[in-house]
Amino acid sequence: MTLNYLYRLAAALALAAFSHAVVAQEPQRGGTLYVALHPEPTVLNVSYHAQYANSTVSSNVFESLFVYGDDQQPKPVLAESWELAPDGLSLTFHLRKDVKWHDGQPFTSEDVKYSALNIWKKLHSRGRVTFAPLLDVETPDAHTAIFRLERPALVILSALNAAESQIFPAHLYAGTDVRTNPYNSKPVGTGPFRFKKWEKGQYIELERNPDYWETGKPYLDRVIFRTIPDAAAREAALETGEVHVVPFSGIPFSDVERIKQNKSLRVTTNGYAYNAQIYYFEINTRKGPLAHLKVRQAFAHAFDKQALVDTVFYGLSQTADSIIPQDATRYYLKDGLPRYDFDPAKAERLLDEAGFPRKENGVRFSLTINLSPSSDRFPFAAELLRQNLKRVGVDLQPITSDVATYLRTVYTDYQFDSLFQPYATMLDPEMGLTRLFWTPAAQPGVPYSGASGYSDPATDRLVEQYQKEVDPDKRAGYFHDLQRNVLSQLPVIPLMEAPFFTVYNTRLHGLDERPDGSRSAYTNAWLAP
């Protein structure tokens, strides 16, 4: 056996191995993807309730004009191309042709017009602010939609994906009350998967859309979203292969390091940049002790943020000192912000100065804290905050509730003292912050918008300046000033940045890890044998 022969044999074997690896990575068709969620969705769209579970499911059924690439810039979906007028007062979208709704009706510019004017602009908690300058949508033909604007609004270009601004079928929604439309629980979209079944409390089943406009997609036959309330049960389902994906930090934080050692599982923090969140202690400024600024300042000094990150969330995030995440480098103000270091002694002095001395039992006053039902970690967070405040003489009592009760109590009745609640700042902070701090944005019955009762003329002016500014540097300056204003008045106390991660089985390929991937469709996903 010659040396030349051995070289040829080695080369052939290497080529065969390489070819096998390439073939093995070719998308495989068929199969069912199982995703574990908690809480269960309340409605299968994001028209008036943008909670993550709602969008995680419905973004597979509904689409919008864009997705956002790794460069955080818009990429075509139902809009093939678009132009912004030089004066910033119109946006023209050229829509994809030959797209059908799941009931066979054609998708047209009338659907975009209906969705933009009647849903995004009127109902969505963030969209009501983002699309406020939208005057009209002209439809010169079935595949052209022209947004006419009252003023320049660059933020709109960051708000047109399926997690934020879903396009609804006008022929099924026009003339109805969107909030009670029966298609909210049996949606008809244009997306890669069609709705099939919803067994409440158990699972939601979507099936492949055979008429999807992107040829050959999706690869999967179906996606089933299982409702598994217990984090340990979700983890067990992952480890046994009963589910393939758990998004939004859905397993016990204490087990993440161990899970990283499991060769059949992967952990990724990608796919969440679009929905970057801050966890807040939000305050009802309308009444009681928390109406006093010195009390709010005292609370800001009483909370041990680092302990919250380290003990409740196992060090998987970082503390927050502003209302904008640190990764938003254009907008985050690093220096010059009011600072509230952990200082219980200072908190005690401020509470005394505010006129709330300790009573004979050592308690100054009692308050409640309503906990967002979106994470099972929040009761543990509330316990740490309770201990922090007990140290300075304040009794804090946590309240847990179901989603419907929480939304009604907090955002309709305003019957609360404080909240532990995450809010998404979003790709552009105008989308996520305006609803919290701009007086006109606060409307009873609109979830995740203006619960604190905060209203400040100077802050309102800053919001109105960044809303219409077209110079990026000047616009960033307004956000810097907004941070100073809000943090000097403390209607919210930022505690930490959201510790989001996804755990998935290595059989799963094509998981979307773009900035908005965690709330995007499983269009490119496939399962290896």
Look at residue 10 and tell me if it is in a domain. no
**Per-residue pLDDT tens for 263-318?**
999 999 999 988 889 999 999 999 999 999 999 999 999 999 999 999 999 999 99
Please indicate, yes or no, if residue 23 is contained in any of the structural domains: no
Write the secondary structure of 133-150 as one string of H (helix), E (strand) and C (coil): CEEEEEEEECCEEEEEEC
Instruction: Answer whether residue 6 is part of any domain.
Output: no
206 and 195 Cβ atoms separated by less than 8 Å = yes
Residue 418 to residues 117, 236, 292, 398, Cα–Cα distance (Å) = 34, 34, 14, 9
Per the domain annotation, does 12 fall within a domain?
A: no
Q: Are residues 215 and 262 in the same domain?
A: yes
Q: What tens digit of pLDDT does each residue of 101-154 get? A: 999 999 999 999 999 999 999 999 889 889 999 999 999 999 999 999 999 998
Number of domains the chain contains: 3
CATH number at residue 85: 3.90.76.10
CB neighbours of 227 closer than 8 A, spacing ≥ 6?
37, 38, 39, 40, 201, 202, 203
The answer on 508 and 425 residing in a single domain is no
**44-69 pLDDT per residue, tens:** 999 988 888 999 999 999 999 999 99
Q: Within this chain, do residues 482 and 515 fall inside the same structural domain, yes or no?
A: no
Identify the pLDDT of residue 470: 84
Q: Model confidence over 171-198: pLDDT tens digits?
A: 999 999 999 999 999 999 999 999 999 9
Share of the chain above pLDDT 90, in %: 85
Distance CA 499, CA 470 (A): 33
How confident is the model at residue 18, as a pLDDT?
39
Q: What does pLDDT average to over the chain?
A: 93
Same domain, 267 and 134: no
Same domain, residue pair 331 and 391: yes
pLDDT of residue 11: 43
* 461-481 pLDDT, tens digit each: 999 999 998 888 999 999 999
Question: Is residue 477 domain-shared with residue 363, that is, in the same domain?
Answer: yes
**Domain identity same for 323 and 450:** yes
Do 389 and 505 reside in the same domain of the chain?
no
Question: What does pTM read for this prediction?
Answer: 0.80
| 441 falls within a domain | yes
Cβ distance 28 to 507 under 8 Å?
A: no
422 and 322 share a domain?
Answer: yes
Residues 471, 448 within the same domain: yes
Asked whether residue 392 is assigned to any structural domain, the reply reads yes
Instruction: Specify the CATH number for the domain of residue 523.
Output: 3.40.190.10
Domain of residue 409, CATH code: 3.10.105.10
Residues 126 and 173 in one domain: yes
CA distance 46 to 431: 15
Q: Are 325 and 515 in contact (CB under 8 A)?
A: no
Residue 16 included in any domain: no
Q: 135 and 259 share a domain?
A: no
Is residue 70 a part of any domain in this protein?
A: yes
What domain range includes position 138? 62-182
Per-residue confidence band for 4, with pLDDT thresholds at 50, 70 and 90:
very low
